[in-house]
Structure 1
Amino acid sequence: MIATVHCVSAAELSITLATTPSVEATGLLANILPRFTAKSGITVKVVAQATGRALDTARRGDADVVLVHDPAAEREFIDEGYGATRRQVAWNDFVLVGPSSDPARIVGGKDASAALKAIATARARFVTRGDRSDVNIAELRLWRLAGRTSEALTPEKWYRSVSGDMSQALNAASTTGAYTLSDRATWLAFANKGPLVIAVEGDPRLLSRYDVIELNPKKHGKARLPEAKALADWLVSPEGQHAIEGYRANGEQPFNASAAAPK
C-alpha cells in the first residue's frame, strides 16, 4: 500500500530520486514515473549517477530516496545509518559484448572470467569505462577472478579506458571492434551496435539487482520522506511492478520485476 501524504501544497509534492544511469538512460523512469505522479500527485526529479555518487548525494541530503544496484555499497550506506528500508525492485544482468569476428573465440560462452582470460591471452581489444561506475566495478571484479588486477591491465595496449559512460564505451567498442562489459538494459537501448554481438551471458556472477532504499529520518529529517516512501511503496506494489515488467526498449525487456521474489 502506498503511504498517504497529508497537508502539503502542490508545490511541495516533489522529491528527488538518486539513481543509476542504467535505469535512467534506458527510458524506464520516463515511462513509469508519470504513472506514479498521476496516482499520487508527487513529481519526481531524477538525478542519474553511478551508485557510489548517488549514495553520496543522499548522504549529503540532496536526494530523498535512492534506486541503485551495488549491494556492497548499499550495505555500507545502511550500516553507516543513512539508509533505512531496502527493498529489491528489479533485476537484470551484465553482458560481455564483442565483435562478431570474435578474435578471442568466446562467443556463446557462459563463464565471464574464462572469457576475460581468453581475451587477455589473445590480446584482443577491450574497452573499459574506467569511471568507477557500477559496471566498471563489476568488470574489475571479474578481471580479478580471471587473475588480472587493474594495475596489471592499465599498461596493456589492448586494454583501453574511455573514462566515460556506458554509451561512450559501447561506441568505442563498436568503432574499434573491441570487447566490453555492458549492463543489458543499456545494451538493448544502444542504437549503434555495429559489429558488436553478445559474446557471453548467463553467468550467475553477471546478475545485477536494483534496490530502492528509503533514508533514515534520524539522519535526514522528515520533510520529504513521506513522499519518498510513497514512491518506494509504489515501485514494489503490483502496479509498479507491472509497469516495470511491461517496459520495452527497442522491443526488448530490459528489467525483470522482482519485488515478490527477490534474486
Structure 2
Amino acid sequence: MAPFDIIEPRIDSTEATPFSANNGACPRTANKPPLSGASIYDGGYSHARERGVRVRIANGTAGQIGLVRAWADSFIQYMVNKGEAPFQVAWYLGDSTASLALLASGTVDMALTYVPSAELQLMESGAASRRVYAFRDRFALVGPHCNPAALEEQDSVYSMFTKIVNAGNADVECPPDPDVRPATRFLSRCDKSATNIKESQIFLAIGQLPWGHDYSRWYHQFIRFPREALRAAAALSEYTLIDYGAWLSAPPCVRAGMRVYKIGSDAADDVLLNPAHLLYRGATSKAPDNEDGALSTAFYEWIVDPAAGMQVTLGFSKAGQTMYSNPPPSKD
C-alpha cells in the first residue's frame, strides 16, 4: 500500500468524503462535517417543542455515545416532576476546541471538554463563569492484533510510541510484504481535539514531530470524529489513540479487529487520564445571563450533583462496562 498523502494545512472543502473500507483510500482533503444545528432532546415529552430549546451544551464523544442524551432526558424529567413545563435540551457536536469556541461565542450555555489548559484560559478570558471536574475518562492506545511495532505489555506509553515511530520509519525505508504483515502506521485525527492534543504531547515528549515538514509517511492524518477514525484504523490495521468510552461504544465488528495495548488509569499523574470538565457560561463580564439562565444553571448543578446527574454518569455503560469514574476531590 502506498504511503498516505498528508492533509494540507489549508482545507478548502468543508464537506467530508465518506471513508471506504473497501479500498482503504483516505481522501487528501478529508474534513469533519461542518457544525450545522444540533440534536434535540425532550425527555420523552412530545409537546416540549412548544416551549422549545432552553438549554444548550457542546461536547464530542460523550454526546456521540449517548451520555449527553441520558443527562438531558433525565434532567428534563426531573424538572417536570418539580413542576416545570416540558422543554428541550440541544446538544452541539464538537471536539474540545470547537466546543470551547461555541461556549465563548455564546452559541451554547455550557461545554463538556477535556483540555484543562485551554479551559483555564477561557475562564481567565471571562467567557465562562464556572468550571467543575465532571468525571474521569481514560485514553487507550489501540491497534491491530498483528502488532507490527512489537509493543509489549510492560512497555510504558512513551516506549510504545517510540516503537511505533521506529517501526514506522523502518517500514517506510523497507516496506514489508503485505501478505506477511501490514506496514506500521499511526492514525491521527489531526483535528485539535483533546485526543489529538494528547497524542501530540506524547510525541513531543519523546522528541518527535511526525506532522512537521518533512512529515513522517507512517503518520496518517484522518480528520474525523472518534468512531469514524476508529473504523478507519481498524480497516487499515493502524495504531491510534482514542478515549476509552469511544472504544467501548464501537461496534463489536470494529473492536474485533483491534486490541488495547495501553489504557489510562484514574491516577492524576497518568499521562492517559482524560479529565472531563464542565464549563458554564452564565453571567460573566462578557456574557450577561439570558432568559434561560435559571434552567441552564440548574442543569449545570444537576450534572455534578452526586444524588442526581452523577448517578446517570457513573451508571452509564457500554459493552457491559461502566465508562466513567468519579472526579477526585478538587478545588476547581
TM-score (ref. length: structure 2): 0.71
Which residue matches 1:24?
63
User: Do the aligned partners of 1:50 and 1:133 also contact (CA within 8 Å) in 2?
Assistant: yes
Cα offset, 1:257, TM superposition: 2.9
Q: Secondary structure at the match of 1:18?
A: strand
Separation in 2 of the partners of 1:165 and 1:179? 16
How far did 1:60 drift? 1.3
Give the alignment of 1:6-25 within 5 angstroms. 11=51, 14-19=54-59, 21-25=60-64
Amino acid at match of 1:55: L
The 3 A distance-change label for structure 1 pair 153 and 165 is farther
Of the structure 1 ranges 92-101 and 26-35, higher mean CA displacement relative to structure 2 is found in: 26-35
Partner of 1:244: 313
CA contact (8 A) 2:161 2:203 kept: yes
- CA shift, 1:176, in A, is 1.4
- Matched residue, 2:189: 129
Amino acid at match of 2:318: A
Are the counterparts in 1 of residues 51 and 88 from structure 2 also a CA contact under 8 Å?
no
Q: Provide the C-alpha distance between the structure 1 equivalents of 2:200 and 2:164, rounded to a whole number of angstroms.
A: 14
Q: Distance in 1 between matches of 2:190 and 2:248?
A: 21
Distance in 2, matches of 1:108 and 1:44, equals 43
- Identify if the C-alpha distance between structure 1 residues 179 and 153 changes in structure 2 by more than 3 Å, giving closer, same or farther: farther
Q: Which has the higher contact order (CA 8 A, sep 6+)?
A: 1
Tell me if structure 1 keeps the 8 A contact 2:58–2:112.
yes
Segments of 4+ moved more than 4 angstroms: 259-263
Q: What residue ranges of structure 2 are gaps of 5+ in the alignment?
A: 1-49, 81-86, 169-183
Moved more, 150-159 or 135-144: 150-159
Q: Are the structure 2 counterparts of residues 107 and 172 from structure 1 closer, same or farther at C-alpha, using a change threshold of 3 Å?
A: farther
User: For 2:187, what is the secondary structure of its paired residue?
Assistant: strand
Comparing 173-182 with 200-209, greater Cα deviation is found at 200-209
What is the match of residue 84 of structure 1?
129
Q: Deviations over 1:165-207 (max 9, x none)?
A: 2122211211111100001010010112242100112361010
Task: Output the CA distance in 2 between the equivalents of 1:107 and 1:86.
Answer: 38
SS at match of 1:119: helix
Aligned pair count reads 253
Give the Cα–Cα distance (whole angstroms) in 2 for the partners of residues 53 and 120 of structure 1. Answer: 29
What's the counterpart of residue 322 of structure 2?
253
In the TM superposition, residue 12 of structure 1 has moved relative to its aligned partner by 6.3
1:219 aligns with 2:219: no
Q: Secondary structure at the match of 1:101?
A: coil
- 1:180-237 CA-to-partner distances (Å, cap 9, x unmatched) read 0001010010112242100112361010111111214132221132211101110111
Structure 1: state its 5+ residue gaps: 1-9
* Corresponding residue of 1:4: none
Kept in 1: contact 2:136–2:324 (CA 8 A)? yes
Q: Distance in 1 between matches of 2:213 and 2:66?
A: 33
Matched with 1:155 is 215
Distance 1:83 1:104 in 2: 43
Kindly indicate whether the alpha-carbon contact (under 8 Å) linking 2:211 and 2:219 is maintained by their aligned counterparts in 1. Answer: no
Q: CA deviation at 1:258?
A: 2.1
1:92-241 matches, cutoff 5 A = 92-109=137-154, 111-123=156-168, 124-152=184-212, 155-191=215-251, 192-202=254-264, 204-217=270-283, 218-223=285-290, 224-238=292-306, 239-241=308-310
Whose Rg is larger? 2
Measured in 2, the distance between the counterparts of 1:257 and 1:225 equals 27
3-state secondary structure, aligned to 1:205: coil
Partner amino acid for 2:316? Y
**Identity %, equivalent residues:** 22
Q: How far did 1:259 drift?
A: 6.6
Q: Distance in 2 between matches of 1:93 and 1:256?
A: 10
